[in-house]
Structure 1
Amino acid sequence: MPPLTISMVTLGITLGTLMVTTANHWLTAWLGLELNMVSIIPVIAKQKHLRSTEAATKYFLTQATASALMLFSSTLNAWQTGSWNITQLDNKLSITLMISALAMKMGAAPAHFWLPEVLQGSTLATSLLITTWQKIAPITLLYMISNHTQSNIMLFIGLLSILIGGWGGINQTQLRKMMAYSSIAHLGWTITAISITPNIALLNIIIYMSMSTPFFLLLMNTSSKTLQTMTTTWAHSPTTAITLMLLLLSMAGLPPLTGFTPKLLILDNLTMHKLVPMATAMALLSLLSLIFYLRATYLLTSMSPPTTAQSTTLWRLKANHNKSTAILAPIALFNITILPTLLT
């Protein structure tokens, strides 16, 4: 991709997200989301492959549908209340439609169908962008209307996302699809908490993004795209293998790692609001996600000495591999171990 094109795409993605996060008017927020969508489509389709074209088409159709639903919801609210302010979403039908539109934009269940396919047709760098940066704008809007959201709908979407995120990831051998279902499950935790404790929901998604970013960057360094190729990581870079293992366990939410902190806070607040059955169901359904996290962790550690890998190595060490690993390892370890002490 030419440098001028890269600059324009980066500017569009950044400016679109900033427009949404600083907007007070629904039309401004809609314009920012559209700019964001138009800017990232060339990034998804930059590979000269039918899979990339299919992923870009699916992304465009889904996001355009969600944008149309969002525009209809805000117009209906303005017709009923006379206000285009984001924080004054008072019409019940508008609230339901807006939650559905934002859930579709983020990839939460039941409108999750596009996310695994789009990530599978994209590069690892684009997958990182879609699972982190692209979720900032819709989550910000959901945070801004959290006082008007209907708790029953939010709890249903959250619980369904945790179920589908865990169930869908069990059968996956492709790391990008596995991370897509991981993103859906973590979105479920965020959506569940956002109508009860918005600040903890924001903390949850920030921690997930801080864990998934070094995970994707380490996968990019080793060119690992499947569980089979991940097994050869230990033979060439034990540091990378150990860091990936700790990041997976942290995303699974095992104590005393960082990923356990927001889940504990969410379950605690659900219990305080007398939603014990909901908290119990979420804790049990998270065991589904734990299965594929532990499977990936086992494959990473099963090739440690004196065991030797039986599969052929599909990647070779890059010139800057050791240098980039030396930079990413402290960042990942900070996100795994030190962050909980800062929060407390």
Structure 2
Amino acid sequence: MPTTALFMITLGIITSTLTVTATSHWLTAWLGLELNMISILPMITKQKHPRATEAATKYFLTQATASSLMLLSSTLNAWQTGSWDITQLNNKLSCIMMMSALTMKMGAAPLHFWLPEVLQGSTLTMALLITTWQKIAPITLLYMISNHVQTEIMLAIGTLSIMIGGWGGINQTQLRKMMAYSSIAHLGWTMTAISVTPNIALLNIIIYMTISTPVFLLLTSTSIKTLQTTTTVWSSTPTTAFMLTLLLMSMAALPPLTGFTPKLLILDNLVMNKLTPMATALALLSLLSLIFYLRTIYLVSSMVPPTTTQSTMLWRLKPSHSQLTTILAPTALFNITIMPALIV
């Protein structure tokens, strides 16, 4: 892709997200989301492959449907209340429609159907962008209307997302689809917390983004895409295998790593709000996600010497992106060791 085109696309993605986060008018927010969608489509189709075209088509149709529903919801609310302010979403039907549109844009259950397929047809770099940066705008809007959203609906969406994210990830052998279901599960924790404690919900999604970014970059540097090829990581780059193991353990919310902090705070606040059965159910459902995280960790670390790899793939290749691994080492260690500071 030409440098000028890449610069314009990157500028469009950044500007659109900042527009949505800074506005208080529904039409401006809708315009920012549309610009965001149009900017990212050329990057998805950059890879000349039918799967990339299919992923871009699915992404476009889903986001266009969500944008139409969002525009209808804001128009209905303005017709009933006379206000286009984002924080004045007082009409109940408009609130439900808006929440459905934002849920579809983020990829949370039960409107998650597009996310695994789009990520599987994209590159790892695009998968990183879709699961992190692309969620900032809709989560910001959901945070702004959290006072008008019914708690029962949000808890139901959050619980369903955690269950589907864990259950769907168990059956996957493709790392991109597995990370897609991981994103759905983490979105479930965010949706659960946003109606009870919105600030902790933001903390949860920020920590997820800071942990998943090094994970995707390490996967990109090693060119591994399936669970089978994860057994060759130690043979080529032992540092990457060590960092990837710790990062996946943090994403699995194993104490005392960073990923455990927001989930502990969310469960604590659910108990304080007399939602102990809900907290118990979420803690049990999180074990589903723990299964495929531990399976991946086992495959990454099972080939540590003196064990020899049984795979004939990739291990003969020289490690690439060694500079990227060197840069990511302190970043990854920072992301998995900040829990004591957060607890204090």
State the TM-score, normalizing by the size of structure 1: 0.98
- SS of the equivalent of 1:262 reads helix
1:165: which partner in 2? 165
Q: Deviations 1:307-334 (Å, cap 9, x if unpaired)?
A: 111112337335541x221210110110
CA distance in 2, matches of 1:340, 1:66: 40
1:116-131 correspondence runs (5 A): 116-131=116-131
Q: 1:233–1:241: 8 Å Cα contact kept in structure 2?
A: yes
For 1:204 and 1:105, how far apart are their aligned partners in 2?
A: 18
Structure 2 counterpart SS, 1:87: helix
Is residue 59–residue 118 contact of structure 2 (8 Å, CA) maintained in 1?
A: yes
What value does the CA root-mean-square deviation take over the aligned residues? 1.0
Alpha-carbon contact 1:257-1:337 (below 8 Å) kept: yes
Pairing 1:141-180 to 2, within 5 Å after superposition: 141-180=141-180
Give the alignment of 1:139-218 within 5 angstroms: 139-218=139-218
Specify the alignment match of 1:257 in structure 2.
Answer: 257
Q: Deviations over 1:56-95 (max 9, x none)?
A: 0000000000000000000000000000000000000011
CA contact (8 A) 1:222 1:317 kept: no
The DSSP-based 3-state class of the residue aligned with 2:225 is coil
Residue identity opposite 2:228 in structure 1: Q
Q: 1:238 deviation in Å? A: 1.2
Unaligned runs of 5+ in 1: none
**Alignment gaps of 5+ in structure 2:** none
1:317 counterpart residue number: 318
Q: Tell me how far apart the structure 2 counterparts of residues 227 and 319 of structure 1 sit (CA, whole Å).
A: 19
Distance 2:124 2:321 in 1: 18
Structure 2 counterpart of 1:74: 74
Residue correspondence of structure 1 range 1-344 to structure 2 within 5 A: 1-314=1-314, 316-318=317-319, 320-321=321-322, 323-344=323-344
| Corresponding residue SS for 2:291 | helix
Which TM-score applies when normalising by structure 2?
A: 0.98
- Residues 223-278 of structure 1 deviation map (CA, whole Å, 9 limit, x = unaligned): 01111111100112111101101111100101000000000000000000001111
| Post-superposition CA distance 1:107-156 (Å, at most 9, x none) | 00000000000000000000000000000000000011111111011001
CA distance in structure 2 between the partners assigned to 1:303 and 1:319 by the alignment:
19
Alpha-carbon contact 1:158-1:191 (below 8 Å) kept: yes
Aligned partners of 2:75, 2:89: CA distance in 1, in Å? Answer: 11
Q: How many residues align?
A: 343
Q: Secondary structure at the match of 2:337?
A: helix
Contact 1:124 1:220 in 2 (8 A): yes
Query: In 2 relative to 1, CA 162–292 (structure 1 residues): closer, same or farther, beyond 3 Å?
Result: same
1:6 Cα deviation after fit: 0.2
